[in-house]
């Protein structure tokens, strides 16, 4: 692993008063699939198990830039956003309302497809509480959708023939009524 030579990486120590500040705020650097580089505060980075394992268990120097080839830049932004908030709320006694408000905003402008992509990312990065939250959010959004919508969303092919499909559907036709297929 070579040290990043990007301008964004400010890991080299400088002498002078600013060095003290930098020492306190240790940063970890990651690079996503699209080449974007992110500086994470150490405490936030350690929320992400795959990063934690990489640097702590394998004792790799923080000067190394960790590649995340399965993660897109926009996804990293969202993950950092969520983990930063999580760390912030850890120190609060009663953060329930704040967490709920934050979570509502977090998913507000994301399509279900994007949420699903984030779910995959959270799974890859190993951030359990984010994964749990995203799974819950996705299931909320799809629970009243029909079978075609779900197939399209997940990119799943229908491998039933007509007869087989009708047979499964006939077990509980009431489950296929009163659905809401609004685009999300």
Partner 1 sequence: MQSGIAAAETVGHNEDLLKQLLLRLPARSLIRFKCVSKLWLSLISSPKFCESHTLQNPIPKFSSATTDATTWFISLLPNPNLNFIPDPQGLMILQSCNGLLLCTSPADKFTISRQFKFYVVNPTTSRFSEIALPPPSPTKPEPARLLSVALAFDPSKSLHYKLVCVSGSSTVSVHREIEIEIYSSETRTWRACKSAHMRFPTIGEFLPGVYCNGRIHWFSRFCWLVHYDIDEGHYGVVGLPGHDFSVERECICFGESGGRLHLIEMYGNGIGLNKLHVLEMGKDYSGWFVKGKRGTESSYCAAHR
The residues that touch partner 1, with contacts defined as CB under 8 A, are: 33, 72, 75, 111, 113-114, 116-117, 119-121, 123, 131, 135-136, 138-139, 142-144, 146-147, 150-151, 153-160, 165, 168-169, 171-172, 174-178
Q: What are phi and psi of 15, to 5 degrees?
A: -90, 160
Q: Are strands 27-32 and 65-68 parallel, antiparallel or unpaired?
A: parallel
Minimum CB separation of residue 76 from partner 1 in Å reads: 12
Minimum CB separation of residue 144 from partner 1 in Å reads: 7
Pick the closer one to partner 1 by CB: 32 or 64.
32
Minimum CB separation of residue 100 from partner 1 in Å reads: 17
Q: 10 Å Cβ neighbour count for 118?
A: 26
Pick the closer one to partner 1 by CB: 57 or 171.
171
Minimum CB separation of residue 110 from partner 1 in Å reads: 10
Pick the closer one to partner 1 by CB: 45 or 116.
116
**DSSP letters for 26-51:** -EEEEEETTS-EEEEEHHHHTTSHHH
Pick the closer one to partner 1 by CB: 98 or 146.
146
**What are the C-alpha distances in Å from 43 to residues 23, 29, 86, 96, 133?**
13, 13, 11, 21, 20
Pick the closer one to partner 1 by CB: 64 or 121.
121
CA 132, CA 123: separation in Å to the nearest integer?
A: 9
């Amino acid at each position: 692993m070579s040290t990043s030579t990007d301008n964004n990486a400010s890991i080299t120590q400088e002498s002078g008063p600013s060095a003290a500040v930098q020492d306190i705020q240790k940063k970890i650097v990651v690079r996503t699939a699209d080449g974007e580089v992110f500086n994470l505060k150490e405490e936030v980075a350690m929320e992400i198990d795959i990063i934690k394992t990489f640097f702590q268990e394998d004792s790799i120097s923080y000067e190394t830039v960790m590649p995340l080839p399965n993660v897109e830049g926009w996804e990293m932004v969202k993950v950092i956003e969520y983990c930063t908030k999580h760390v912030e709320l850890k120190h609060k006694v009663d953060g329930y309302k704040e967490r709920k408000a934050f979570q509502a905003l977090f998913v507000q402008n994301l399509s279900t497809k994007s949420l699903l992509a984030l779910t995959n990312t959270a799974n890859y990065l190993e951030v359990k509480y984010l994964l749990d939250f995203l799974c819950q959010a996705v299931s909320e959004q799809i629970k009243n959708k029909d079978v075609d919508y779900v197939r399209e969303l997940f990119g799943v092919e229908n491998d039933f023939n007509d007869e087989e499909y009708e047979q499964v559907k006939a077990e509980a036709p009431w489950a296929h009524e009163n659905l809401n297929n609004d685009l999300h």
